[in-house]
Amino acid sequence: MIIAESEKKHISRFEKDREAIALYLVDFLRTFAISLPGIFVPLFIFQYSNKPVLFGATALINNLIWVVVYYLIFSFSATVLNFCATNLIFRHIGFKRSMLLGMVFLMAGIAVLLGAGSQFSVILVAPVLFGISVHLFWIPFHIFFVRKSNAGGNFGNETALQIFVQGIAGSLGPLISGFMISMWGFQPVFVLTIFVLCLASVPAFLFVTESWHREHHTFSIVRSYLKTRATRNLGLAIGSRAGEAVLFEIFWPILLFTVLQDFAKVGAITAISFFLSSLVMIWAGKQFENHKGSRIFPTSVFINAALYIIRLFLLFPMGMYIIDIIDRMNGKIYTVGFSSTVYDATKEYGESDFTIYREIVSHIGQAIMLACTIVLLLLLPDWKLIFIVCALCSLGSLPVYLASRKK
């Protein structure tokens, strides 16, 4: 009987490890696929011809506004779906099929970018498809990750490994795609992305098991979390962090290209920075796993905010390389601390409910910040001052530090 119980526990541990590995593999392949066009998508839209002029803006500001509008459509689409179509995942599609459909819609969005030709209006269909993809993919993935990956304790080591995997995958994509775009343009990159996404769909579908899911009332979930001070502060931090992330995703590649004037160099600097920053992952994960990261996190946040200001003055190639490497190395510590605390909160406050809340406040934070950015682009004397807004958003993640100190 003792042997049977021991074998049962061993099999259960093996199944959980197998499922965790499958999730890490999905994340690796998906991150690699998205990193191929990822940093270059803002540049693709920025340089696209035949864009209508909005608000009588200059050519430069009009190009920037259209990039922001593209991401605003994405955030708005994801927010609407988070509110209105969550039970589609839980009660009808199921987690694994939802993740698979998320990949399909992601591939459809890439196909739209690939086949848009000279019709700019067609491109604006892509962020809607990406919004559907994000809704279908990330809610199941986050819940699976909380349930399947944790080996005990908090999520410091697991988050560090996840971001390390993303960092390695993310370092390969820009390097490959930068040279491909320089040689053959964007189209081959989009084709390769679709191919890798097909592979990314397989591991979770084959090796991860799921159980029955209850119905969720999204508005009630959000209302209940906003009533509690701790989860309200976490929501503010998550929304602020998401706003910072999307502004960085838009404006940093454009500033890099403005200074370097070379797709291959932009890809190379991003790849080098991703790889070097990944080396600090395991150390950072152990700090947060052992609750030693409560002092590291706020320091990293302030460094992150300061780097946004410094980059306004280092507008030369070597300055770009230095700031990107330092920023991404510090950013990994910042991200591990932030993400591990959010995963800990997910485990504490309700796996599925808090994941829904997390996704909603993330996309609302992005949408609000992007809408404000359009106004600021029309008012500011220099578009690069948007990085000051990024610095303020970074400081908005400090409620996560307060949450981590309570543990």
Locate tokens 């009009």: which residue? 62
pLDDT given at position 6: 45
Helix (H), strand (E) counts: the chain = 19, 0
Report residue 127 as tokens.
């962020």
- Degrees (nearest 5) of the Cα angle 266, 262, 182? 95
CA distance 37 to 401: 33
pLDDT given at position 1: 43
pLDDT given at position 276: 67
Q: What is the CATH number of domain 2-203+219-405?
A: 1.20.1250.20
Across 147-159, b (16+ Cβ under 10 Å) vs e yields bbbbeeebbbbbb
pLDDT given at position 280: 61
Sequence spans of domains, the chain: 2-203+219-405
Measure Cα distances from 139 to 17, 49, 324, 359, 406 in Å: 21, 36, 30, 7, 26
pLDDT given at position 8: 44
Query: The pTM is what?
Result: 0.85
pLDDT given at position 139: 87
> Residues near 86 by Cβ (< 8 Å), separated by ≥ 6?
139, 216, 218, 356
> Over 359-404, what HEC string results?
HHHHHHHHHHHHHHHHHHHHHCCCHHHHHHHHHHHHHCCCHHHHHH
pLDDT given at position 2: 46
Report residue 385 as tokens.
């001052």
Give me the average pLDDT of each 10-residue run along the chain (407 residues).
44 62 84 82 85 86 94 95 87 86 90 79 91 91 76 58 71 78 82 87 76 79 90 89 92 88 74 67 57 68 90 84 82 75 82 89 95 94 92 82 56
pLDDT given at position 19: 81
CA distance 146 to 155: 8
pLDDT given at position 54: 87
Number of CB atoms found within 10 A of residue 44's CB = 20
pLDDT given at position 273: 72
Backbone angles phi, psi at 400, to 5 degrees: -65, -35
